[in-house]
């Protein structure tokens, strides 16, 4: 073990370099900080419990899609008895999450999941307002 | 801690009961909350929707396209100039093109050239539905041949099957060609087939189809074919009517009074 110092020192430098992205983010406090989402101003309560919406909002959207298009169901009764019109543009994007970029996209970008192509067809009302101004 | 067999069974049984109760309230949220039945807007319902078009009334105002404009504005239908790529839900064509089976070559010239409205016939035996491999198009119980644009894969079998040319394909993103985008109705996307839906969305809100409402001459009548007292049945019972290519067996449900 003549080069003990060199080997251990080299390993330390190597480990330091390879874990740099992680340590850097931890030091700067970026990873521990979740994205700041723009929450609805008017509504306090979502159509389902927050935890369910965080984990399974796509399940609910798919359920809405199938009920509305294929079964002709137009209203959704939430878990607390409140009723909502089944409409992505008219309810989700108009009444609550009026800024898709500050809500949907921001979180999807943070977790690295591509935002689904809903707004390719379902017109974001905000875009119309902007173009109308 | 030593637990007796009796105690173990008691505890296990009790926790299973609690778990079962929990999942039951989750599966039927209404049971737990004691919800009130939802109030619904007056929805227009029918056993079999159909349309009757009075060709003479429709032709009264020359060059009128109010119904076409109303439909295309309501449904974000793009205005693409190129005929090979155009998208249309409702349009006007000359009598002899809409009714090629009326082959009488000595038909009065004015009738041959009379513009006639054409759109999806919402057939009772729709060939488009039979060929769709994904069930993106299907016939509802009230007769509307509906489309689920989420499910359309753009194979265009339905376009080949439809003998009326009622379906259009989006060769490119239609949004830039929509004159005035409305958020009340979705647009379509590249690679999707579209057509008239008998204003299924408006019917659900208690409104008549956009074209029917827009016509100042009241040339289009919309109603329930199964109701003998409905306007459509009244018109069909009082005047002679024809349909587009009934010999094909598609049972079209748009009737033309001539």
Residues of A with CB under 8 A from a CB of B: 65, 69-70, 72, 74-75, 77, 79-81, 83, 89-90, 94, 117, 120-125, 127-128, 131
Q: What band does B40 get if pLDDT is binned at 50, 70 and 90?
A: very low
What percent of chain B is predicted at pLDDT more than 90? 73
Please compute the mean of the pLDDT values over residues B6-16 and round it to a whole number: 86
- Compute the mean pLDDT over every residue in chain B, rounded to the nearest whole number: 89
User: Using one digit for the tens of pLDDT, what is the confidence trace for A15-29?
Assistant: 999 999 888 888 877
> What's the rounded mean pLDDT across residues A107-114?
90
Tens of pLDDT, residues B137-167: 999 999 999 999 999 999 999 999 999 999 9
For residue B28, is pLDDT > 70?
no
Spatial distance between the Cα atoms of A85 and A92, rounded to a whole number of angstroms: 10
Determine the average pLDDT of the residues in A62-87: 93
Residue A27: its pLDDT value, please?
A: 83
3-state SS, residue B189: coil
Predicted confidence at residue A84, as pLDDT, reads 93
The stretches of A1-133 forming alpha helices (DSSP H) are 4-18, 20-28, 50-70, 106-111, 118-121, 125-132
User: Mean of the per-residue pLDDT values for chain A?
Assistant: 88
A78, pLDDT greater than 80: yes
Asked if A75 lies within 8 A of B29 by C-beta distance, the reply is no
> B8 or B142, which is more confident?
B142
User: At B35, is the pLDDT very low, low, confident or very high (cuts 50, 70, 90)?
Assistant: very low
Q: In what order do the strands lie in the sheet with B220-224?
A: B220-224, B49-54, B254-257, B241-242
pLDDT at A94 over 60: yes
The pLDDT score that the predictor gives to residue B23 is 58
Residues of A in contact with B34 (CB under 8 A): 81
The answer to whether the Cβ–Cβ distance between A81 and B36 falls below 8 Å is yes
ipTM over 0.90: no
pLDDT value of residue B98: 94
Q: Which helix (H) or strand (E) holds B66?
A: helix B66-74
State residue A131's pLDDT score.
60
**Residue of higher predicted confidence among B1 and B131:** B131
- Please name the helix (run of DSSP H) or strand (run of DSSP E) that holds residue B22, with its range, or none: helix B5-27
Tens of pLDDT, residues B104-129: 888 888 888 889 999 999 999 999 99
Q: Tokens at residue B204, please?
A: 């659900």
* pLDDT confidence of residue A31: 66
Tell me whether residues B35 and A131 touch, CB distance under 8 A. no
Mean pLDDT of A5-17: 95
Structure tokens at A33: 């900080």
Contact A74 B43 (CB under 8 A): yes
| pLDDT for residue A14 | 97
Say which residue, A121 or B15, is predicted with more confidence: A121
Say yes or no: B42 contacts chain A, CB-CB below 8 A.
no
Residues with Cβ < 8 Å from B9, sequence gap 6 or more? Answer: none
* pLDDT of A30 strictly over 80: no
Output the CA angle B136-A114-B188, nearest 5 degrees: 35
Pairing of strands B49-54, B220-224: antiparallel
Q: Does the pLDDT at position B245 exceed 90?
A: yes
Q: How much is the pLDDT for A59?
A: 95
Question: B230: pLDDT confidence band, cut at 50, 70 and 90?
Answer: very high
According to DSSP, the residues that pair with A76 across neighbouring strands are: A84
pLDDT value of position A122: 94
Q: Which residues contact B50 (CB under 8 A, 6 or more apart)?
A: B122, B143, B222, B223, B224, B225, B232, B253, B254, B255
**CB-based contact A72 B186, cutoff 8 Å:** no
CB count in 10 Å sphere of residue B233: 18
* pLDDT interval class at B43 (50, 70, 90): confident
d(C-alpha A91, C-alpha A108), whole Å: 20
pLDDT of residue A34: 79
Query: Could you read off the pLDDT of A33-45 as tens digits, one per residue?
Result: 778 888 888 888 8
In Å, how far is A71's CA from the nearest CA of chain B?
9
Q: Strand ranges (DSSP E) for B6-144?
A: 49-54, 90-94, 115-119, 137-139
Which pLDDT band, with edges at 50, 70 and 90, does B173 fall under?
very high
Residues β-bridged to residue B161:
none
């Amino acid at each position: 073990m003549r080069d003990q110092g060199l080997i251990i020192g080299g390993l330390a430098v190597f480990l330091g370099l390879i874990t740099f992205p992680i340590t850097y983010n931890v030091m700067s406090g970026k990873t521990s900080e979740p994205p700041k989402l723009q929450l609805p101003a008017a509504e306090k309560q979502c159509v389902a419990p927050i935890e369910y919406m965080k984990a399974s909002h796509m399940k609910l959207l798919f359920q809405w899609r199938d009920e509305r298009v294929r079964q002709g169901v137009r209203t959704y009764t939430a878990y607390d008895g409140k009723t909502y019109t089944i409409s992505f543009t008219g309810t989700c994007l108009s009444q609550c999450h009026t800024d898709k970029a500050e809500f949907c996209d921001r979180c999807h970008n943070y977790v690295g999941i591509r935002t689904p192509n809903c707004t390719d067809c379902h017109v974001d009302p905000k875009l119309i307002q902007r173009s109308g101004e | 801690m030593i637990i007796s067999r009796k105690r173990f069974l008691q505890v296990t049984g009790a926790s299973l009961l609690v778990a079962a109760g929990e999942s039951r309230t989750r599966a039927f949220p209404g049971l737990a909350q004691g919800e009130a039945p939802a109030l619904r807007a007056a929805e227009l319902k029918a056993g079999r929707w159909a349309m009757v078009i009075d060709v003479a009334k429709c032709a009264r105002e020359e060059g009128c396209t109010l119904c076409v404009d109303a439909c295309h504005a309501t449904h974000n239908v793009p205005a693409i100039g190129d005929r090979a790529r155009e998208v249309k839900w409702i349009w006007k064509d000359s009598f002899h093109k809409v009714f090629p089976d009326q082959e009488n070559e000595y038909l009065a010239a004015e009738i041959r050239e009379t513009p006639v409205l054409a759109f999806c016939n919402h057939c009772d035996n729709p060939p488009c539905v039979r060929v769709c491999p994904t069930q993106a198009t299907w016939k509802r119980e009230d007769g509307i041949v509906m489309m689920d644009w989420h499910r359309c894969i753009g194979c265009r079998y339905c376009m080949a099957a439809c003998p009326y040319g009622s379906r259009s394909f989006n060769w490119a993103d239609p949004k830039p060609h929509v004159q005035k985008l409305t958020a009340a109705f979705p647009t379509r996307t590249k690679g999707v087939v579209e057509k008239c839906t008998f204003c299924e969305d408006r019917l659900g809100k208690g409104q008549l189809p956009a074209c029917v409402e827009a016509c100042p001459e009241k040339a289009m009548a919309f109603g329930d074919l199964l109701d003998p007292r409905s306007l459509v049945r009244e018109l069909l019972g009082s005047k002679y009517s024809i349909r587009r290519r009934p010999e094909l067996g598609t049972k079209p449900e748009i009737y033309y009074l001539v």
